[in-house]
Structure 1
Amino acid sequence: MKVVVTGGAGFIGANLVRALLAEPGITSVVAVDDLSTGLLENLDGLPVPLLRGTILDPDLLDEAVAGAASVVHLGALGSVPRSVDRPLPSHHANATGTLSVLEAARRHDVGQVIVASSSSVYGANPVLPRQEGLRPVPVSPYAVSKLAAEAYTIAYAACYGMQVLPFRFFNVFGPRQAAHHAYAAVVPRFVSAALAGQPLQVHGDGRQTRDFTYVGSVTDTLVDAVLRRVGVTDVVNLAFGARVSLLELIAELEEIMGRRLDVVHAPARPGDVRDSQANSDRLRELFPTVRPTPLRAGLEQTVAWMSGRVLAGQ
């Protein structure tokens, strides 16, 4: 079975590639990435061809998906603040890019397309936990682009009979997540600052909550979906119902690192959602064997990986 991973040199993509390669039923994995946010080093030593280029290039996608049984579409331009600063690139990468991938899959009669959306689509809807049937109220260009991506995916299932599985990811974290750029996610930013002995910058009061999901739990679910050919006609939350504030996250890091961490507060950012928590009933129904990694265990593995990079001078 050939599987294509767009965004395959990125954080989630590179972890997924490793998990797919460990499965004997998967004969080949192809990564597609323009390296705008992904890193070549994430695929070092792996027997995986990297097709370097944009998912907006139909010729590149034709080369990638020909003969594929599944496409896992993770390629995207992430970050709410990035989309607030520059909305059009987020739209082109996330909405038009997803449409481009779906078209390539249709041209080559790919059996399954799994698409990464985001919990950000729930936006200003105040209901917690977030259940898939809630009305989306996106409050950032990034969220709008992801809502468009999942809507295109569902439409392709309806119009062309394509087997699809759109997931809404919730604050995924873990090894290989970039820390040193302006739009880095909160967990790698906090861990990097803590390891460097610098203050942790918190936007707002720190009481905003997130459903942090360890990347290993995400890749376990994606691999299971590929192997069992899971398809749906709606969206599925990929998170397990935790609700952790940033201050609670910092307290966990303090216990792991065995010392108090300095914190500085900055203004809240436009487009950020105050609270986020998944209803995981649908996920657990579809994937009964997948288990969440506890926050502490996931943070310990993340700290250990980032510490190793610091010791290696990276």
Structure 2
Amino acid sequence: MKIAITGGAGFIGSNLARALTNHPKITQVRVIDNLSTGHKANIADLDIGFVEGDIQNAELLDQVFRGADAVVHLAALPSVPRSVRDPLASHEANATGTLQVLEAARRAGGLHVIAASSSSVYGANPRLPKHEDLITAPMSPYAVTKLATEAYLGAYHHSFDLPVLPFRFFNIYGPGQRADHAYAAVIPKWISATLADEPVTVYGDGTQTRDFTYVGTVCRVLTDALLRRIVEPRPVNLAFGTRISLLDLIPEIETAARHRVRREHMPARTGDVLHSQADSSRLRTLFPTVAPMPLEEGIFATVDWLRDSVVGAAPS
């Protein structure tokens, strides 16, 4: 089986590429990434085909998709704050980019397209847990682009009979997630700060809740979806209904890092969702054997990776 990954040099994409190259039923993995948020070093040791370029380039997409059986579309410009600062860039990368991927999948003979949406589409809808039939209420341009992503997948399924599967990702974390940029996610940013004996920044009062999902679990679901060719035009939550506040996350990091976490509070950020928790019923129907990584184990693995990556980057 031959798989193409857009955004395959990023955090999730490189973890997925690694998982697929280690699977006996996957014979080829190709990656396209413009390296705007991904890093070639993430995949440097993998036996894959890599094309540096943007998904807006139809010719490059045709090159990467040629002969493939399926594509996992992960290329995106992430971050709610980034989208608030530059809505047009987020729209072009995420919404128009998805349209380019779907057109290329059609030209390639109707590839199976699995794509990443986001729990941010639920936005201001206060109901918990979040099930996929809830009314969406995006609070940021980023969330709108992800709603457009999954809507385009559904439309291409119904209009062109394209086999699709849109996943709503919920706060994915784990090894490979970098903390050295302005839009870093909370877990690597807080772990990195703690390891450096620096205070963590808590936006708002810290009672916001999240449904964190370990990247290895996500990769297992994506791999299973590819191998069994799961087709579902409706969005599917890829999370397991766990819920922890950001303040309650701090002791988990302290235990794993064996270091006290100092914190400083800043005003809440525009567009941030207060509470997030998935209803995983649809996911468990489609993937009945999947078992999530416990948060405690996932935090330990992430701390170990970040500690090793900092040591490895230090001058000798």
TM-score > 0.5 by shorter chain = yes
Deviation at 1:275, TM superposition (A): 0.3
Matches within 5 A, 1:84-95: 84-95=84-95
Q: Which amino acid aligns with 1:209?
A: T
Deviation at 1:196, TM superposition (A): 0.5
Deviation at 1:313, TM superposition (A): 2.3
8 Å contact kept, 1:33–1:52:
yes
2:247 aligns with: 247
1:291 aligns with: 291
C-alpha separation between the residues in 2 aligned to 1:259 and 1:77? 33
8 Å contact kept, 1:79–1:142:
yes
Matches within 5 A, 1:109-148: 109-148=109-148
C-alpha separation between the residues in 1 aligned to 2:195 and 2:59? 43
C-alpha separation between the residues in 1 aligned to 2:145 and 2:265? 29
Gaps of 5+ in 2: none
Q: Describe the SS at the equivalent of 1:31.
A: strand
Q: Which amino acid aligns with 1:183?
A: Y
C-alpha separation between the residues in 2 aligned to 1:110 and 1:30? 17
Q: Describe the SS at the equivalent of 2:313.
A: coil
1:75 aligns with: 75
Gaps of 5+ in 1: none
Q: Which amino acid aligns with 1:235?
A: P
8 Å contact kept, 1:71–1:110:
no
C-alpha separation between the residues in 2 aligned to 1:48 and 1:261? 40
Q: After superposition, what is the alpha-carbon deviation per residue over 1:137-195, rounded to whole angstroms, capped at 9, x for unaligned?
A: 00000000000011001000000001100000000001111201111110110011011
- Is 1:200 the counterpart of 2:204 in the alignment? no
Task: Give the alignment's Cα RMSD to 1 decimal.
Answer: 0.7
Deviation at 1:23, TM superposition (A): 1.2
Q: After superposition, what is the alpha-carbon deviation per residue over 1:95-114, rounded to whole angstroms, capped at 9, x for unaligned?
A: 00000000000011133100
C-alpha separation between the residues in 2 aligned to 1:67 and 1:311? 41
1:227 aligns with: 227
2:306 aligns with: 306
Deviation at 1:22, TM superposition (A): 1.3
Q: Which amino acid aligns with 1:254?
A: E
1:62 aligns with: 62
- Is 1:180 the counterpart of 2:191 in the alignment? no
C-alpha separation between the residues in 2 aligned to 1:313 and 1:107? 43
8 Å contact kept, 2:237–2:279:
yes
Deviates further, 41-50 or 74-83? 41-50
C-alpha separation between the residues in 1 aligned to 2:209 and 2:169? 15
Runs of 4+ in 1 over 4 A off after TM superposition: none
8 Å contact kept, 2:125–2:135:
yes
Deviation at 1:311, TM superposition (A): 1.4
1:270 aligns with: 270
2:96 aligns with: 96
Query: For this pair of structures, how many residues does the alignment match?
Result: 314
Deviation at 1:259, TM superposition (A): 3.1
8 Å contact kept, 1:7–1:75:
yes
Q: Which amino acid aligns with 1:10?
A: G
C-alpha separation between the residues in 2 aligned to 1:49 and 1:280? 34
1:17 aligns with: 17
Q: Which amino acid aligns with 1:2?
A: K
Deviation at 1:207, TM superposition (A): 0.5
8 Å contact kept, 1:66–1:108:
yes
C-alpha separation between the residues in 2 aligned to 1:21 and 1:58? 26
Q: TM-score w.r.t. structure 1 length?
A: 0.99
Q: After superposition, what is the alpha-carbon deviation per residue over 1:195-246, rounded to whole angstroms, capped at 9, x for unaligned?
A: 1110010100011000000000100000000000000121100000011100
Deviation at 1:257, TM superposition (A): 2.1
Q: Which amino acid aligns with 1:207?
A: T
Give % identity. Answer: 57
Q: Which amino acid aligns with 2:164?
A: V
